[in-house]
């Protein structure tokens, strides 16, 4: 009944748009009959608004012209993946998709190209996230795909498909109105009010559909496997975000990419240093309050419903990694990410992961220490070098070198101590950067994104004391200068990205 009512409201959207267009056209004709000059002025508002509404209505039936995300894989290219999808589709009781596309998101989805308000399906597509292929087991992947194919197979799919199509179409209409145009701004408010009612009504249908698709998944692979897949997808989402932002982004900024991106991601997912965090995410059973417009129930509720079914786990699903389903997995998954992140990705220099982490840290610390050398140059009137920083310390300008104004921190002694601590941290980073740049050390980053400098041939035991002396009350840089001289680091050293 909810789905049928949502469909009726979608038809009502056409009627609303038709009424608005008809009203504006009638208003314009009436103005021409009684006050032509006024009609001309009114036309500057009515014509664009009428065009915008008509374009919005056309959007409902227009086939998406945007490029499809990800890479399409054919049965010839990936026979085992297609075999898995066909097997699941047969068990679910629905035709398999016409296309499978591998995307760079931690997600899986299905979509349809339709006509006549979704009543006629012309093509079905399945989207599978590359991170899921890289980190899930085959059994867990089967659960995810069974859920997606379950959207096709449930008895309410036909009306629910229209509901989903309507939600997306009305969203595009609301976003597409020009709110800087006064009449369109007014029409926007009308459509927003209608959209809120529609979204709230249709959300119940969408959430029910998600739970029904979960039930299909549990029936195919068992409740335990379906629940574990949901928990694992949450952990993969966290690790994927950490991988992109804590590892890939820093080297990317320096102009580098690893030779095998997904080899690094799979290594990170298995690294002992990140397991406690991922285990904590898997064990969490709380969700934020659900948005009334959210199309998915809270994960906690979904897992509880799946486990309540008590569906047994068939023994004919493999527990091997889903990557085993792919031919040339690293090449495929890397290509997916390369096409998703930037069109200039192929211009990046490709290096092994050890080198990638090294240049990432070099770039990170070069940017982090640039503030210190630049500030020293402003204070002393020289070049932004390590030597200029040391000269500023010799002149007891540590407070001026500090990254923050310490004037609000207690008395003079407290302010100086606060400044010295901040400057000491940046100075140590600058010296370590100089050591790595001159070939004495190499940066290492573990998969928990913890950075350290490896110095196999140079003793830096005295470095902390030398920095403390240089930034402390004595502001004596003699020991630090001697250490730099021993390492062959010139005082003209300037932090520059690799």
**Three-class DSSP category at 490:** coil
Q: What is the pLDDT averaged over residues 354-381?
A: 94
Q: 183-197, 286-300, 304-318, 450-464 — which is least confidently predicted?
A: 286-300
pLDDT-derived band at 22, boundaries 50, 70, 90: confident
Contact between 437 and 480 (Cβ < 8 Å): no
Rounded Cα distance between 160 and 204, Å, is 11
- CA 198, 204, 206, 207 dihedral sign is positive
Q: What is the pLDDT averaged over residues 249-273?
A: 89
Half-sphere exposure of residue 263: CA atoms within 13 angstroms, side-chain side: 11
Contact between 317 and 225 (Cβ < 8 Å): yes
- Give me the torsion for CA of 478, 484, 490, 496, rounded to 10°: -120
Average pLDDT score over the chain: 83
pLDDT-derived band at 416, boundaries 50, 70, 90: confident
Q: 111-115, 127-131, 330-334 — which is least confidently predicted?
A: 111-115
Query: What pLDDT sits at residue 20?
Result: 73
Distances (CA, A) of 3 to 327, 339, 482: 41, 37, 78
Rounded Cα distance between 322 and 359, Å, is 32
Query: What pLDDT sits at residue 154?
Result: 60
Q: What is the pLDDT averaged over residues 175-180?
A: 64
**Three-class DSSP category at 472:** coil
Query: What pLDDT sits at residue 63?
Result: 43
Q: What is the pLDDT averaged over residues 394-408?
A: 81
pLDDT-derived band at 62, boundaries 50, 70, 90: very low
Most confident of 227-231, 315-319, 456-460: 227-231
Rounded Cα distance between 64 and 165, Å, is 12
Q: What is the pLDDT averaged over residues 349-353?
A: 93
Q: Give per-residue pLDDT as tens, 217-244.
A: 999 999 999 999 999 999 999 999 999 9
Q: In 66-181, which residue ranges form alpha helices assigned H by DSSP? A: 79-92, 130-135, 138-153, 157-176
Q: Check whether 432 has a pLDDT greater than 90.
A: yes
| pTM, rounded to two decimals | 0.75
Query: What pLDDT sits at residue 206?
Result: 75
**Three-class DSSP category at 83:** helix
> Which phi-psi region, left, alpha or beta, contains residue 26 (left: φ > 0; alpha: ψ -120 to 50)?
alpha
Half-sphere exposure of residue 198: CA atoms within 13 angstroms, side-chain side: 25
Question: How far apart are the two ends of the chain, measured CA to CA in Å?
Answer: 63
Half-sphere exposure of residue 59: CA atoms within 13 angstroms, side-chain side: 24
């Amino acid at each position: 009944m909810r789905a049928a009512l949502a469909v009726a409201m979608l038809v009502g959207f056409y009627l609303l748009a038709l009424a608005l267009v008809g009203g504006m056209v009638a208003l314009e004709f009436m103005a021409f009959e009684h006050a032509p000059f006024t009609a001309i002025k009114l036309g500057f508002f009515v014509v664009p608004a009428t065009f915008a509404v008509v374009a919005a209505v056309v959007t409902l039936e227009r086939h998406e012209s945007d490029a499809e995300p990800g890479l399409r894989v054919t049965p010839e290219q990936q026979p085992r993946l297609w075999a898995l999808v066909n097997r699941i589709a047969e068990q679910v009781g629905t035709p398999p998709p016409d296309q499978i596309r591998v995307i760079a998101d931690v997600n899986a989805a299905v979509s349809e190209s339709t006509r006549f308000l979704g009543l006629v399906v012309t093509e079905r597509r399945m989207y599978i996230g590359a991170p899921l292929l890289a980190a899930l087991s085959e059994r867990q992947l089967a659960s995810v795909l069974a859920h997606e194919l379950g959207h096709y197979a449930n008895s309410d799919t036909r009306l629910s498909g229209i509901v989903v199509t309507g939600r997306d179409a009305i969203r595009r209409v609301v976003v597409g109105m020009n709110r800087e145009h006064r009449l369109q701004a007014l029409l926007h408010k009308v459509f927003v009010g209608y959209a809120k009612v529609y979204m709230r009504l249709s959300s119940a249908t969408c959430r029910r559909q998600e739970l029904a698709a979960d039930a299909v998944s549990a029936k195919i692979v068992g409740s335990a496997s379906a629940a574990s897949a949901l928990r694992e997808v949450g952990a993969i989402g966290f690790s994927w975000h950490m991988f992109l932002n804590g590892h890939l982004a820093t080297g990317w900024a320096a102009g580098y990419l690893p030779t095998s991106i997904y080899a690094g991601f799979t290594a990170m997912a298995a690294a002992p240093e990140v397991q406690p965090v991922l285990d904590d995410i898997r064990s969490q059973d709380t969700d934020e309050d659900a948005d009334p417009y959210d199309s998915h129930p809270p994960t906690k509720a979904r897992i509880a419903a799946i486990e309540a079914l008590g569906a047994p786990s068939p023994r004919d699903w493999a527990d091997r990694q889903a990557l085993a389903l792919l031919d040339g997995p690293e090449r495929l998954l890397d290509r997916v990410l390369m096409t998703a992140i930037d069109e200039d990705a192929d211009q990046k220099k490709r290096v092994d992961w050890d080198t990638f982490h090294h240049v990432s840290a070099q770039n990170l610390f070069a940017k982090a220490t640039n503030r210190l050398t630049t500030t020293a140059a402003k204070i002393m009137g020289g070049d932004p070098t390590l030597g200029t920083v040391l000269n500023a310390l010799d002149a007891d300008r540590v407070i001026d070198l500090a990254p923050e104004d310490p004037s609000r921190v207690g008395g003079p002694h407290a302010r100086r101590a606060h400044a010295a601590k901040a400057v000491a941290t940046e100075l140590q980073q600058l010296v370590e950067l100089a050591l790595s740049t001159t070939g004495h050390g190499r940066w290492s980053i573990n998969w928990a994104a913890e950075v350290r400098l490896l110095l196999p041939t140079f003793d830096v035991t005295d470095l902390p004391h030398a920095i403390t002396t240089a930034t402390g009350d004595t502001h004596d840089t003699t020991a630090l200068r001697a250490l730099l001289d021993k390492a062959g680091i010139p005082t003209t050293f300037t932090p520059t990205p690799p």
